[in-house]
Amino acid sequence: MEFKLIKKIILAMCLASGISACTSTATVDKYEGLADASRERSARLGELPGTPDNLDAIRNADQQAQQYESQAHHARKHSSFMAFVTDAIFDLILD
């Protein structure tokens, strides 16, 4: 009886971590899209005359793209960890 309760708790933890991993994947896609948009904006601004305002806008767009890429990397790392935990728990349950 106690083993069944432990199994249910582990299964609930597995489902929660799986849902978290799916959410993180959507977050990665979101931040990668935002980073791409910032890089495109920087490229478009680079085609304009090199006024100080344009140079500042290019720098800002590049910095923003780097921030989004960093957030995507963090979300991807978290998603990979949760996938690892989920796989490990399922291996324990099925064995």
Distance CA 77, CA 73 (A): 6
Q: What was the pLDDT predicted at 48? A: 81
pLDDT tens per residue across span 44-86:
888 888 788 888 888 999 999 999 998 888 877 766 666 666 6
Tokens of 23: 């959410």
Which of 69, 81, 74, 2 is CA-nearest to residue 38? 69
State the Cα–Cα distance between residues 49 and 36, nearest whole angstrom.
Answer: 22
Backbone angles phi, psi at 47, to 5 degrees: -80, -15
Q: Report pLDDT for 66.
A: 92
Q: What is the pTM of this model?
A: 0.58
Report helix, strand or coil for 31.
helix
